[in-house]
Amino acid sequence: MCVDKNVGRSSCKIIYNNQIAEGVYEIVFESASISSLAQPGQFVNLYSSIGSRLLPRPISICEVNTKEQWVKLVYAVVGDGTKEFSMLGKGQTIDVLGPVGNGYEVEACETSILVGGGVGTPPLLELAKRIEGKKLIYLGFRTGSYLVEEFKKYGEVQVATDDGSEGHHGTVITLMNQNNADGQRIYACGPKPMLKALQQWAGERNIRAQLSLEERMGCGFGACVGCVCKIKAKNELGYTYKKVCKDGPVFDAKEVLF
């Protein structure tokens, strides 16, 4: 059965929820609608079951299987909400709304460069599956890596860690420079400093880059105008505010004002 309508906030059954690295979890749940609608770079909102913790926790879609109707997310435990999620197990349910947002525009070209940092790496997996041609995949972590084996199925993977515990000792950007990375399209998701550096890197080489941004969300589906980022505009200020949850999270690097 293919459900082609976003069904709103609904309870989804968890298939598994396992730790895959220190403080990082992989959750897989059933959803006919999300698995058939999801585009790479889109996200879902997860909700706490505790009444005092109201707001959505936006988490990127890492991978979907339309036939088996499951959705995979990878998240880091950073606060109370993600801690609560980490304690859920097989057979339990979690409230989810999605897919939401404007994902990556997949463009055919000879070589694509995918750049992920930390919990910004997961959304690149579904993307890597759907891009054709050669793929150079750069993954950066503070310390231990995850998802690297999965990524290896789709392209040439290079790992960088801040503490040098694995792969290149340094940032993905220095690793890209060291390797003279070359391609026609860049797709990225990760912390702001990484995206900012990539915006410059891509600009200097005149390569089109798509960046996935993060912002605090009130609703996560376009209703509250709470999640805005600065996008360049031809007005007196030189920018306007756009919604990360609906106009993004993916924006063209040329438009973004950090």
Partner 1 sequence: MNLSVNIAGVELKNPVMTASGTFGSGKEFEQYIDINRLGGVIVKGVANKEWLGNPSPRIAETYGGMLNAVGLQNPGMEVFIKEDIPFLRKFDTKIIVNVVGRTISDYCEVAERLQNEDVDLLELNISCPNVKEGGVAFGISPQMAEKITNEVKKYAKQPLIVKLSPNVTDIAEIARAVEAGGADAVSLINTLIGMKVDVHKRQPVIANKIAGLSGPAIKPVAVRMVYQVAKAIRIPIIGLGGIMTGEDAIEFLMVGASAIAVGTANLLNPRATMNILDEIETFMKTKKIRDIKEIIGIIE
Ligand X SMILES: Cc1cc2nc3c(=O)[nH]c(=O)nc-3n(C[C@H](O)[C@H](O)[C@H](O)COP(=O)(O)O)c2cc1C
Least distance CB 225 / ligand X (angstroms): 7
Partners of residue 76 on adjacent β-strands: 24
Residue 41 near residue 78, CB atoms below 8 Å: no
Residue 190 near ligand FAD by CB under 6 A: no
Please name the amino acid found at residue 174. Answer: T
Q: Which is nearer to partner 1, 13 or 192 (CB)?
A: 192
Among 14, 8, 18, CA closest to 29:
14
Least distance CB 33 / partner 1 (angstroms): 11
Interface with partner 1 in residues 32-51 (CB under 8 A): 47, 51
| Peptide bond just before 56 cis, omega within 30 deg | no
The interface region with ligand FAD, picked from 29-37, 78-86, 104-112, 149-157 by CB under 6 A, is 78-86
Contact partner, 119, from ligand FAD, ligand FES, partner 1, none, Cβ < 5-8 Å per class = ligand FAD
In angstroms, the CA 217 to CA 29 distance is: 23
Residue 55 near ligand FAD by CB under 6 A: yes
- How far are the Cα atoms of 29, 86, 88, 169, 196 from residue 48, in angstroms, in the given order? 15, 11, 11, 37, 32
* Total interface residues for ligand FES by CB under 6 A: 13
Residue position matching structure tokens 């694995």? 166
Residue 238 near residue 232, CB atoms below 8 Å: yes
Contact partner, 81, from ligand FAD, ligand FES, ligand X, none, Cβ < 5-8 Å per class = ligand FAD
Residue 23 near residue 77, CB atoms below 8 Å: yes
Residue 218 near ligand X by CB under 6 A: yes
Candidates 1, 54, 180, 234: give the one binding partner 1 (CB under 8 A).
Answer: 54
Residue 5 near ligand FAD by CB under 6 A: no
Containing 11, the helix (H) or strand (E) segment is strand 10-21
Q: Which is nearer to ligand X, 144 or 218 (CB)?
A: 218
Least distance CB 225 / ligand FAD (angstroms): 15
Instruction: Dig out the tokens for 114 from the structure.
Output: 């995918």
Torsion of CA 249, 255, 257, 258, to 10 degrees: 50
Residue 241 near partner 1 by CB under 8 A: yes
Residue 242 near residue 94, CB atoms below 8 Å: no
Instruction: Dig out the tokens for 59 from the structure.
Output: 């988490």
Residue 193 near ligand FES by CB under 6 A: no
Residue 55 near ligand X by CB under 6 A: no
Please report, as ranges, the residues that interact with partner 1 according to CB under 8 A: 5-6, 8-9, 47, 51-56, 97, 215-219, 221-229, 237, 240-241, 246
Binding footprint of ligand FES on the chain (CB under 6 A) = 217-220, 222-227, 243, 245-246
